[in-house]
Every structure is written in C-alpha cells, then in structure tokens.
Amino acid sequence: MVDIKTVGVIGAGQMGSGIAHVCALAGYDVLLHDISRDRIDAGLALIERNLTRQAHRGIIDEAAVAAALAHIKPAESLADIGATDLAIEAATENEETKKAIFRSLQPHLKPDTLLASNTSSISITRLASSTDRPERFIGLHFMNPVPLMKLVEIIRGIATDVPTYETAVNFAKSLGKITSNAEDFPAFIVNRVLVPMINEAIYTLYEGVGTVDAIDTAMKLGANHPMGPLELGDFIGLDTVLSIMNVLHEGLADSKYRPCPLLVKYVEAGWLGKKAGRGFYDYRGEVPIPTR
C-alpha cells in the first residue's frame, strides 16, 4: 500500500475546502487547487473560518487551528498536484469536467500517485477509464459538510485493485471517518436513497399537495428529519440535485427517477439554493422565507 503523506485537492469549493480541512487537521500536507487564485483564496478563507468555529465550540484547540493551516498550501498549477501521494478531485458534478481534469493531471503524476473522485453519483469505472491508472483509482465520497459528517462512501471501479481499496479505507479512517462500501451503480448508496426523496418532495410541492413550509415541517416533525427535504435540497444545491437525478434517470432508465419539472425550472432560473441566495427559500433577508 502507498504511504500517504501528501494530499492534493482539486476544487476549492465547499466540498474541496472541507476535504482539505479534515486532511490538514489529521496532519497531512495538503495542496489546494482551483481554476483561479481567487477561488483558492476563498477556499483557504473558508477553511480558516471553519477551523476557528470548531475551536470556539471546543471541538479542537487553538493550537490545532494554526497547525492545520500550516499544513495547507495553495497550488495555482494543476501540475503541482501531480507530486502528491493522493490526488482527490472535488470539482462540479459533471462527468466531462471531471474527466478533463484527470486528463490534464495525468502527464504530471508520479508513477505511484493514487487518484480519487469525490463524485456523488458518477460511475467510478468510467472516470477511471479516462486515466492511465484505473487500478489506482477509487471513489471517496465525503458527505457535506465534510468537517462535521462522519461518513465516507468508498466506491471501487471494476479495475480498482485491492491495495488501492485498502489504502483508501485506511486513509478515510485516519481522518476520523467511518466508511461504507458501495458498489459502482448510479448515485451509490446515500444519494440513491436521499436525492429521489428530495425530488419527490419537489413533486409534492409542484402538484400542490403542500407548501414549502408544510412539506418541510411535516418531514421534520412527522419523520424526525433534522432538516426538511426542500431546505436540504437548497443546502446541497439544486443544480447538484438535478445532476444526480439525471444520472439516476439515464443510468437506471426508470421513470421514477425523472427530475421534477419544477426542479428544472429553479435551476434554469439560477435559483440554486443557499449558495445562490434563493432556492425553495429566499436567503437574502435575516430569516429564510419560502419562495412558494
């Protein structure tokens, strides 16, 4: 098995910065890359805020904040990521975007570098086939928000070898995570169950069965969910929800996975949820207000 000491994270958004955060906190040297220095700097600032928040809550001590930040360095060039022991892609949930990243990274990789994708729905086998090392490629699906959520789904492609799998499991455990093994089917386990539930909640809204507030209140108080499904969709990002539903619909060819037309309309409008200021709730004021 590869002895992982350095980790490259490609994508400095919410997921990528969260992955960099937990890796640095666990003592790994981390390189964080995105398509611009502004995005990298925004990711680094988010990591610092979240580490400081953890310290204020007594989850970690102040010394751990400084130590973790010292472990993270910006990587303006994708080529820099090639020198790491493990490169984790955490870009937008689009298959062609992810494949393009791996193709661009390939010429710069060390012979023994392991590759991982944080994809929440896309075939690991297909992503691996776009690289020169499908046997050293694996899915590491972290949950959002990464610093708080304990689970990492481990997904093997058809070519993933045993040492890569064992290294990935040990790595996830070293971050304080619990692993769940999923077969390489569309959306794996968590999103195969979760995202169709969100889509069904949107259908419930679309068909006039209940309002945004009624649906979320019903599921929080009637099913003991900590967050209503429409609020959760906003938190995940409605563009991501739609992308996952499309992967399920295309990959499994079952009409029960058809994305709700209202979900499509919200994404077309740019109402992508919390990150955009509007989704099923309007977040631009002091208190979120339902938009339907």
Catalytic residue annotation: 120, 141, 153, 191
* Mutual angle of helices 190-206 and 229-236, in 10-degree steps: 120
Residue 151 β-bridge partners: 178
DSSP 88: E
Question: Cα–Cα distances in Å, from 16 out to 19, 105, 267?
Answer: 5, 17, 22
Q: How far is CA 77 from the centre of its chain?
A: 22
Q: How far apart are CA 136 and CA 106, in angstroms?
A: 12
Q: Name, in order, each residue with C-beta under 8 angstroms of 56's C-beta and a sequence gap of 6 or more.
A: none
Spatial separation of the C-alpha atoms in residues 147 and 159, rounded to whole Å: 30
Return d(Cα 110, Cα 114) in angstroms, integer. 9
Helix (H, G, I), strand (E, B) or coil at 18: helix
Structure token digits, residue 39 = 């995005």
For strands 137-142 and 151-156, give the pairing: antiparallel
d(CA 226, CA 221): 9
